[in-house]
């Protein structure tokens, strides 16, 4: 008969398991200190700069350990670490950390900022993309076809050594944080693709391909930064931030209404040559984000054009139901005939402060009414008591002054009353003196 293990034996086993798990966690995510500056140059590092008091940092912590475990198990050369930015403020300043949490991939002398969603898959994909070469080769048709299926937007340089390739490599080193870049020979192209000349930079997206033209499109970096988005896409907060960096005016609508979707997709495809330079088309589910952006209420569904360069927005003056009406609305924005709302003027900035304060207070009360009453009721109560004390003190001082003035008035009245009482006596004495001085006749 098998005997049950001794409780002490179970306790020791659990302790050993716990120590093993702790050592494993420490191995996949390293706590960094001020010696990191001298030891980092030989490796590629993915570092989370955090602050112990930061709530977002605490929320990221379990995700960060998952990132470390994923990269280690996949054999990635990227080492994962974290650094207390408040304890090593000099190091944080040197790496350009201005807020917490900040995620950076450090490769040689370069530091790449991560600005995407703080999820394990997105962070791991960013680390693997940036840690590798800026431009990856596509040696065969099979590899080219595989990448075409894997990526919604694909940039490829075709041709040999040239000044354009040097520009392409420099641009890729800068924009690798956003997307992949490839190079290939003309042999890997399918028969349906015909290039006007070699070398060429081509973007494949939306079931078509578009070639970079330096004379028409301007700088290569600006062209890539614009073309890295699909012609029509679903927009969220992070996409909105990235679109803002391109300086484009883009159109989006509030809900997934089929009619609006069809119209906007048709404009994005059929009028690409007219609007692609200035507009990005897409949609956003719901209207909460748009309401906070314009500090107002838009109906659902709505079509709205936002200008991220000056925070202006445009609403159609009449319902948009046809393709011609939508094109007319877009053209009215381009030619300046559409009425602009919002902006970044002083009045709008003051309005933004008031709107954000109101939104914060309302969100606190909706999520936790008791906490809202405590946070906002207590300070208001203290301020009310202080005001009451100040007003009461002034009232008491005024009452004392009134009593003193009344007392002085009474004393003056008493003095005035005493003077008339003495006057008759003085007159009588004077009268007697006069009579005594008169001569007597017998």
Choose from 22-31, 198-207, 229-238, 292-301 the range with maximum mean pLDDT: 198-207
What six digits make up the tokens of 253?
């609508």
* Lowest mean pLDDT segment, chosen from 71-85, 93-107, 126-140, 362-376: 362-376
Specify the pLDDT at position 17: 45
| Dihedral pair phi/psi, residue 204, rounded to 5° | -105, 120
Q: Contact at 8 Å (CB) between 288 and 256?
A: no
Number of Cβ within a 10 Å radius of residue 341? 14
Catalytic residue among 22, 57, 387, 391: 57
Higher pLDDT, 422 or 244: 244
Q: How far apart are CA 356 and CA 233, in angstroms?
A: 28
**For the chain, what is the mean pLDDT?**
79
Specify the pLDDT at position 399: 56
For residue 306, name the pLDDT band (cuts at 50, 70, 90): confident
Asked if the model's pLDDT at residue 27 lies above 70, the reply is no
For residue 19, name the pLDDT band (cuts at 50, 70, 90): very low
Estimate to the nearest angstrom the gap between the alpha carbon of 104 and the chain centroid: 17
66 SS3 class = helix
Q: How far apart are CA 141 and CA 24, in angstroms?
A: 42
Q: Contact at 8 Å (CB) between 282 and 233?
A: yes
Q: How far apart are CA 113 and CA 394, in angstroms?
A: 58
* Lowest mean pLDDT segment, chosen from 45-59, 106-120, 352-366: 352-366
Looking at residues 14-37, what average pLDDT do you find?
A: 62
Specify the pLDDT at position 311: 78
* Total residue count of the chain as it appears in this document: 442
Specify the pLDDT at position 354: 76
Specify the pLDDT at position 432: 55
Burial class for 169, CB neighbours closer than 10 Å (0-12, 13-18, 19+)? middle
Four-point Cα dihedral 245, 247, 251, 253, nearest 10: 30
Specify the pLDDT at position 423: 47
**DSSP code, position 53:** T
Specify the pLDDT at position 30: 92
Side-chain half-sphere exposure of 77, counting CA atoms within 13 A: 11
For residue 237, name the pLDDT band (cuts at 50, 70, 90): confident
Higher pLDDT, 163 or 1: 163
For residue 145, name the pLDDT band (cuts at 50, 70, 90): very high
Estimate to the nearest angstrom the gap between the alpha carbon of 277 and the chain centroid: 25
Specify the pLDDT at position 435: 54
Q: How far apart are CA 220 and CA 167, in angstroms?
A: 8
Asked if the model's pLDDT at residue 217 lies above 60, the reply is yes
Nearest to 264 by CA among 279, 285, 243, 277: 279
Number of Cβ within a 10 Å radius of residue 193? 14
Looking at residues 51-65, what average pLDDT do you find?
A: 92
Higher pLDDT, 411 or 155: 155
Higher pLDDT, 53 or 15: 53
Looking at residues 286-300, what average pLDDT do you find?
A: 72
Asked if the model's pLDDT at residue 279 lies above 60, the reply is yes
Asked if the model's pLDDT at residue 293 lies above 90, the reply is no
Q: How far apart are CA 408 and CA 75, in angstroms?
A: 97
Helix runs in 113-234, H state only: 120-131, 141-150, 163-175, 214-217, 220-227
Number of Cβ within a 10 Å radius of residue 308? 18
Q: How far apart are CA 378 and CA 383, in angstroms?
A: 9
Q: How far apart are CA 101 and CA 115, in angstroms?
A: 11
pLDDT above 90 covers a percentage of the chain that reads: 35
- Whether 54 is catalytic is yes
Catalytic residue among 22, 54, 387, 391: 54
Specify the pLDDT at position 430: 47
pLDDT tens string 390-440: 776 555 555 555 666 666 666 655 555 555 554 455 545 445 555 555 554
- Whether 57 is catalytic is yes
* Lowest mean pLDDT segment, chosen from 3-17, 155-169, 242-256, 343-357: 3-17
| Dihedral pair phi/psi, residue 161, rounded to 5° | -65, 135
Distances (CA, A) of 323 to 85, 281, 285: 53, 14, 21
Q: How far apart are CA 278 and CA 280, in angstroms?
A: 7
């Amino acid at each position: 008969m098998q005997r049950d293990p001794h409780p002490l034996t179970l306790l020791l086993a659990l302790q050993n398991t716990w120590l093993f798990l702790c050592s494993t966690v420490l191995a996949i995510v390293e706590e960094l200190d001020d010696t990191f500056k001298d030891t980092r140059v030989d490796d590629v590092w993915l570092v989370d700069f955090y602050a112990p008091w930061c709530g977002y940092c605490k929320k990221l912590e379990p995700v960060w350990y998952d990132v470390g475990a994923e990269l280690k198990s996949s054999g990635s050369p990227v080492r994962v670490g974290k650094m207390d930015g408040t304890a090593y403020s000099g190091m944080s300043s040197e790496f350009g950390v201005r807020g917490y949490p900040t995620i950076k991939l450090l490769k040689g002398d370069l530091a790449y900022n991560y600005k995407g969603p703080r999820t394990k898959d997105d962070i791991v994909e960013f680390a693997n993309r940036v840690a590798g070469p800026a431009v990856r080769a596509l040696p065969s048709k099979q590899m080219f076809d595989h990448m075409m299926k894997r990526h919604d937007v694909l940039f490829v340089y075709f041709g040999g050594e040239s000044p354009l390739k040097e520009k392409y490599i420099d641009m890729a080193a800068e924009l690798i944080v956003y997307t992949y870049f490839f190079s290939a020979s003309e042999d890997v192209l399918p028969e349906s693709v015909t290039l006007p000349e070699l070398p060429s930079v081509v973007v494949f997206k939306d079931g078509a391909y578009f070639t970079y033209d330096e004379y028409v499109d301007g700088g290569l970096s600006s062209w890539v930064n614009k073309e890295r988005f699909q012609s029509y896409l679903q927009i969220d907060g992070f996409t909105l931030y990235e679109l803002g960096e391109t300086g484009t005016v883009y159109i989006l609508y509030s809900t997934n209404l089929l009619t609006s979707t069809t119209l906007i997709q048709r404009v994005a495809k059929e009028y690409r040559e007219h609007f692609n330079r200035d507009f990005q088309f897409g949609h956003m589910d719901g209207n909460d984000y748009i309401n906070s952006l314009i500090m107002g209420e838009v109906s659902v569904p709505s079509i709205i054009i936002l200008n991220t360069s000056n925070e202006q927005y445009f609403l159609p003056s009449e319902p948009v139901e046809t393709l011609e009406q939508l094109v007319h609305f877009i053209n009215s924005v381009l030619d300046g005939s559409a009425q602009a709302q919002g902006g970044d003027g002083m009045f709008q900035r003051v309005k933004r402060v008031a709107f954000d304060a109101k939104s914060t207070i309302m969100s606190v009360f909706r999520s936790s009414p008791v906490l809202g009453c405590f946070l906002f009721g207590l300070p208001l109560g203290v301020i009310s008591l202080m005001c009451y004390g100040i007003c009461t003190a002034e009232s008491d001082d005024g009452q004392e002054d009134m009593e003193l003035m009344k007392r002085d008035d009474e004393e003056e009245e008493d003095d005035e009353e005493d003077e008339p009482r003495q006057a008759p006596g003085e007159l009588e004495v004077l009268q007697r003196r006069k009579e005594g001085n008169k001569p007597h006749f017998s």
